[in-house]
A and B are shown apart, each in its own frame.
Chain A
Amino acid sequence: MKRFSQLAVPYIAWAVMMLILPMALIAIYSVTEQGNSIISFTFTLEHYAKFFTDPDFLVVLWRSLLIALKTTVICLLLGYPIAYFISRSSEKMQNLLVLVITIPMWINMLVRTYAWIGLLSEGGLIQRLLSLVGLGKGELLYTEGAVLLGMVYNFLPFMVLQINTSLCKMDHSLLEASSDLGANLRQTFWKVTFPLSLPGVINGITLVFLPAVSSFFIPKLLGGGQYFLIGNLIENQFITVGEWNFGSAISMIMAVIMMLLMMAVRQVEIRNNGGKEE
């Protein structure tokens, strides 16, 4: 039986090369002086200092976290009731609705985001609908609202599917027990259903927040060239400015922040499980 363990050896080698080494390279670049080759590098922390001493960069970081937070909250508020609705439908309906939510995810993200440009641009469908209700002719495309919309549109399915999975896994007899013991619907929901669906909620939050913070094509397509998030800042360093070491430092900062946030979120889950990890 043990001989099967050899099957993992090639992958371990591959993972060192393709997963660990790239991260190590970013780390090395981030503490290396600009223009040094990887063989003869000079250690420096100037790239980190540059980022943390400049309020402009910090504001970009803050705005990126904020918009990702807004996206996550909206996705949660919309996604939970939908997932709940799906999980309460008949099994046939459930499968159909899950398929309906899944199909857009299969269609390329860029394509789906591009589709919003036509809808949101001046004289487009959304603006015409809004002016029918008398909501004026404000600009829609190239605003923060458009970026937020694009993010919710792209990431909402992740939230719905995650929550739905954990709601479906739930043992329904618990709900009956709860109502037999005299709890009303609201109490049953907050005391039984919601806590049990928390793992799904947390997975959902992770799957929405993570890509939302680092997205750079949604802001570029729907926010316009002057809309800069941390992802755009990194792209810019690598594609047009050419300061890879500074870009690597920003990447490291972002990776660490995300790791800390995810660990914090996981803590909630662990506490919820009574201190035990799954």
Chain B
Amino acid sequence: MKKENRTFGKVLMALVIVFFYLPIIYMVVFSFNSGKSLTSFTGFSLRWYKHMMESHTMMESLSTTFSIALIATAVSTLAGTISAIGLSKSKKIIQNLMEQVNNLPMMNPEIVTAIGFMLLFITFRVEKGYVTMLLAHIAFCIPYVMLSVMPKIRSLDPNLADAAMDLGATPWQALTKVIVPQIMPGIVSGALIAFTMSVDDFIISYFVTGGGVKNLSITVYTMSKRVNPSINAISTLVVVIITMVLLLINLAPVVMAKREKKAEISRKKQIVPIAAAAAAVVAIVLVMQFRKENSVLPYAGQTLYVYNWGEYTGENILREFEEKTGAKVVMENFDSNEQMYIKVANGESYDILVPSDYMIQRLIQEGYLQKLDHSKLDCMDKLCEDVVGLPYDPKNEYSIPYFWGTVGIVYDKTKVDPEDLEREGFDIFRDQKYKGQIYLYDSERDSFMMALKTLGYSMNTEDEEQLQEAYEWLVDCVQTMDPEIVTDEIIDNMAQGRKALGLIYSGDATYVMSENENMGYYLPESGTNLWSDAMVIPANAKNPDLAHEFINFASDYEGAYDNSSFVGYTSSNQEVMDTLSGEGGEYEGIDAYVPRSGNPNDEVFEYNDNTRKLIANLWSKVKIAASNAG
């Protein structure tokens, strides 16, 4: 044969290797960055590793990922192998049928499989959490194991087992001594595929989990909105673990093959992955043990499930609460009230929720909340008067305020003319001068608030024509202004001055302004949403006593101070608010921190089921319009 020209191949191969490994190396390098930036390396430090070690969520997601992967691999390998053997002896028609059935999770888009599992668990009222995630993983892993084992079984002599039994072996012996050793390579590669699939999975886990159980993928997905280099740290850890396991699996047989007789190899080969798996289990158990607390405290051994907004709790409050009570806090985060509502309405159980005003009204109306036991609460007299007794819960029978504020415009003083803001208010989001320079917020309520206020209507309007007008205003905005529709991403991006303008919550604006002095906060005269988020206890809470304890803790000076100073939102605790905004306080001179009062156009959201549906549908169409325009 003629010699081929391999230079092109070599260059391409090299480029692709760079392409595959560049992001991984970049991630590893930046996990050691001393600064917070993901783009400029300012010096070597281990602070993000420390941060990672201290983060419950991260360490637990790591152990969840690997424990689920190991159990799912073990179970699916065993079940898959046995079933494949059984199936190979079944009637042809059953074999073909089962092959089609096994193709379902492999040939369906993953999101469809995921939704199928979710509907299954919800229909049969199985509480979503670790067990459902595990069941789903086993279910999608078995077909891959069978796919890998089946060809090996088919290539066996069908009389092999009979021969063994003729020679006096029991069926069990025929199976374990004759068939299994023959198909071992298929079993091992099936197990490896199952393990990979399980570790890698995001979509299915995301839809079937609950109760704050997260694997690594879910954690990265929910944390990715803010700049958080500890994601790089945990990723690096995963890279190291996986590389070690892979090297072990790939190199160990080679090394042994050199040492031992050939006949021994196949047996040794089985031992290596099993040993690797066992080592991983031990490591995980150690990590979990590491977190055990002592048991003399009042709530030792109990768990508090909190469902709160992302980036809405202080740095230390959860840990301090755990130290004080001995209980464990599991926190899950949501992006929107609507997302939270769906989970609660589908029966998922939490002890504390932190919804907004109108959503609290809805939850009360629909009977999802329980009345607070005020004899257990000592926080009422510490609260700021402006957030007590609001229309959604006039006597605070159900809710204790957490944070409050306004919705306004964050703007870069070096890029935006203040006169434009004064003249146009929210209409500045349709000013062609700022095309490509704006962030919108992915909140249906507040986007419609902005449009309705600009058009001079009430944000609580029930008039469908006014809502239609607001919808057209928004569509015009997304089609002509090339905006980015974000949630928490706005915080770090505006702090770095990436765009000129954005619709923002006052608390996020406070954080942005404290990070970047060029940033300002503007509230249009046409009015805005005076919102408050409050802690409530769902009717199906498992630990209401501990929940009351938490409400006290979070409303008390220290807890409230930690929350407010860390995330920038206005505290409902009067003393904390005064300290932070007063002389020498962290947010002195930042007008976004103290909510506006006295503008007659400002309103509080009220709940109405008809407008909710309309707004939800219209908003998803606005987003589709934005996407299709881009």
Residues of the B chain whose Cβ atoms lie less than 8 Å from the Cβ of A116:
23
- B 226-237 binary contact with A (CB < 8 Å = 1; else 0): 000001100100
Could you tell me if A153 and B19 are in contact, using CB atoms closer than 8 angstroms?
A: yes
Decide yes or no: A175 and B202 within 8 Å by CB, A23-B104, A213-B109, A241-B338 being known contacts: no
Give chain A nearest CB distance to B623 CB in angstroms: 6
Known: A82-B16, A239-B339. A122 touches B110 (CB 8 A): no
Contact A22 B113 (CB under 8 A): yes
Q: Which residues in B have their C-beta under 8 angstroms from that of A21?
A: 120
B290 at the interface (CB under 8 A from A): no
B102 touches A214 (CB 8 A): no
A74 to chain B, nearest CB (A): 12
In the assembled complex, B600 has its CB within 8 A of some CB on chain A:
no
What is the bound-complex CA distance between A264 and B595, given in angstroms?
61
Measured between beta carbons, the chain B residues less than 8 angstroms from A248 are 115, 119
Tell me if B9 and A88 are in contact (CB < 8 A).
yes
Instruction: Name the A residues within 8 Å of B336 (CB-CB).
Output: 240
Asked if B38 contacts A118 (CB within 8 A), the reply is yes
Q: How far is the CB of B200 from chain A (nearest CB, A)?
A: 5
Is B606 part of the binding interface, using a Cβ–Cβ cutoff of 8 Å? no
Report whether over half of chain A's contact residues are helix, strand or loop; otherwise say mixed: helix
Residue of A nearest to B40 (CB): A123
Whether the Cβ atoms of A110 and B89 lie closer than 8 Å is: no
As a 0/1 sequence over residues 33 to 52 of chain A, the CB contacts with chain B under 8 angstroms (1 = contact) are 00000100000000000000
Nearest chain B CB to A181 CB, angstrom units? 13
**B107 & A3 in contact (Cβ 8 Å cutoff):** no
Residue pair B86, A18 in contact (C-beta under 8 Å): no
A11/B79 contact (C-beta < 8 A), A22-B113, A251-B111 known: yes
Residues of chain A within 8 A of B107, CB atoms compared: 206, 210, 258-259, 262
The answer to the question of A111 belonging to the interface, with a C-beta cut-off of 8 Å to chain B, is: yes
Q: Which residue of B lies closest to A185 (CB)?
A: B2
B181 within 8 Å of A (CB atoms): no
Which residues 75-120 in A have Cβ within 8 Å of B in the complex?
78, 81-82, 84-86, 88, 97, 99-112, 114-119
In whole angstroms, how far apart are the Cα atoms of A130 and B489 in the complex? 25
Partner of A7, one of B85, B216, B620: B85
> Cα distance A10–B138 when bound, in Å?
14
**A contacts with B, residue count (CB < 8 A):** 104
A103 and B94 contact, Cβ closer than 8 Å, known pairs A226-B630, A240-B339? no
- Contact yes or no, A216 B21, CB < 8 A: no
Q: A112-B23, A122-B498 are in contact. Are A9 and B86 (CB under 8 A)?
A: yes
With A1-B162, A176-B1, A239-B342 known to touch, is A107 a contact of B16 (CB < 8 Å)? no
User: A5, A97, A254: which contacts B90 (Cβ < 8 A)?
Assistant: A5
Interface hit among B238-246, B304-312, B566-574, B582-590: B238-246
Which residue from A4, A101, A112, A185 sits with its C-beta under 8 Å from B24? A112
Q: What is the chain A residue whose CB lies nearest that of B3?
A: A185
Report whether A78 and B120 are in contact in the complex, using a CB–CB cutoff of 8 Å. no
The residue from B26, B345, B620 contacting A125, defined by CB atoms under 8 A apart: B26
Is the Cβ of A211 less than 8 Å from the Cβ of B231? no
For residue B15, give the distance in angstroms from its CB to the closest CB of chain A.
9
> Which of B46-54, B261-269, B393-401, B479-487 is the interface stretch?
B479-487
Any A CB within 8 A of the CB of B196 = yes
- Taking a contact as CB atoms under 8 Å apart, the answer to whether A111 and B485 are in contact is no
Contact with B along A150-167 (1 / 0, CB 8 A): 000100110000000000
* Contact B1–A81 (Cβ < 8 Å): no
Given the contacts A254-B109, A258-B109, A226 and B118 also touching, CB distance less than 8 Å: no
Residues from chain B with a CB closer than 8 A to the CB of A125 are 26, 39
Tell whether, in the assembled complex, residue A8 and residue B617 are in contact, meaning their CB atoms are under 8 Å apart. Answer: no
Q: Give the distance in Å from the alpha carbon of A62 to the alpha carbon of B270 in the complex.
A: 47
Nearest chain A CB to B394's CB is how many angstroms away?
28
Verify A241–B207 contact, CB threshold 8 A.
no
Is A119 touching B216 in the complex (CB atoms < 8 A)?
Answer: no
Contact indicator A25/B116 (Cβ below 8 Å): yes
Point out which of A2, A156, A225 has the most chain B C-beta atoms below 10 A from its C-beta.
Answer: A225
Q: Mark B6-18, 1 if CB is under 8 A from A, else 0.
A: 1011101100110
Contacts of A228 in B (CB 8 A): 623-624, 626-628
* A119, B336: Cα distance in complex, Å: 29
Nearest-CB residue, chain A, relative to B139: A18
Mask for A11-34, Cβ within 8 A of B = 1, else 0? 110110011111101100100000
Which of B39, B120, B242 sits near A123, CB closer than 8 Å? B39
Structural contact, A20 and B626, CB atoms closer than 8 A = no
Q: Which residues of B contact A258 (CB under 8 A)?
A: 107-109
Distance in angstroms from B378 CB to nearest chain A CB is 36
Chain A residues lying within 8 Å of B478, measured Cβ to Cβ, are: 226
- The docked-state distance in angstroms from the alpha carbon of A25 to that of B171 is 39
Please determine whether A227 and B630 come into contact, CB atoms closer than 8 angstroms.
yes
Chain B interface residue count, CB cutoff 8 Å, equals 112
Residues in B with CB closer than 8 Å to A104 are 20-21, 24
Question: Are A109 and B202 touching (Cβ within 8 A)?
Answer: yes
Residues of B contacting A236 with CB < 8 Å? 620, 623
With CB as the reference atom, state the residue of chain A lying closest to B28: A115
Q: State how many angstroms separate the Cβ of A204 from the closest Cβ of chain B.
A: 15
Minimum distance in angstroms from B34 CB to a CB of chain A: 15
Closest to B482 in A: A226
- Interface pair B20/A101, CB less than 8 Å apart: yes
Q: How far is the CA of A136 from the CA of B22 in the complex (A)?
A: 22
Q: Are B617 and A12 in contact (CB under 8 A)?
A: no
- Would you call B102 and A1 a contact (CB within 8 A)? no
Q: Give the residue among A228, A247, A258 with the most B Cβ atoms within 10 A.
A: A228
Most buried by B among A18, A227, A236, A258: A18
In contact, A238 and B207 (Cβ under 8 angstroms) = yes
Residue of A nearest to B121 (CB): A22
Measured CB to CB, the closest approach of chain A to B11, in angstroms, equals 10
Could you say which residues of chain A place their CB within 8 Å of the CB of B380? none
Q: A1-B162, A118-B30, A176-B1 are in contact. Are A231 and B85 (CB under 8 A)?
A: no
Closest to A8 in B: B86
Please, which residues of chain A bring their CB within 8 A of the CB of B338?
240-242
B458-490 vs A: 1/0 string, CB under 8 Å? Answer: 000000000000000000001000011111010
Q: By the criterion CB–CB under 8 Å, are B112 and A214 in contact?
A: yes
Contact, CB under 8 Å: B116 / A22: yes
Chain B nearest CB, measured from A53 CB (Å): 13
Across the interface, B98 reaches (CB within 8 A) one of A12, A38, A56, namely A12
B87 x A224 contact (CB < 8 A):
no
Q: How far, in whole Å, are A116 and B161 apart by their CA atoms in the complex? A: 53
Contact in complex: A115, B119 (CB < 8 Å): no
In the complex, the answer to whether B13 meets A85 with C-beta atoms within 8 Å is yes
Decide: A210 and B109 in contact? CB cutoff 8 A. Answer: yes
* B10 & A241 in contact (Cβ 8 Å cutoff): no
Least CB distance from B252 to A in Å reads 14
In the complex the two chains form, is B105's CB within 8 Å of A117's CB? no
CA gap between A207 and B143 in the complex, in Å: 15
Q: Show 16 residue pairs from A and B whose CB-CB distance is below 8 angstroms, ordered by the A residue.
A: A8-B87, A19-B102, A19-B143, A22-B119, A56-B628, A63-B628, A84-B9, A100-B17, A108-B200, A110-B220, A116-B23, A217-B203, A228-B627, A244-B119, A251-B112, A262-B107
Beyond the given A4-B88, A22-B113, A254-B111, could you list 4 further A-B residue pairs with CB under 8 A, ordered by the A residue number?
A107-B24, A117-B38, A226-B626, A234-B115
Q: What 4 A-B pairs come out closest when comparing CB atoms?
A: A22-B116, A7-B86, A8-B86, A214-B109
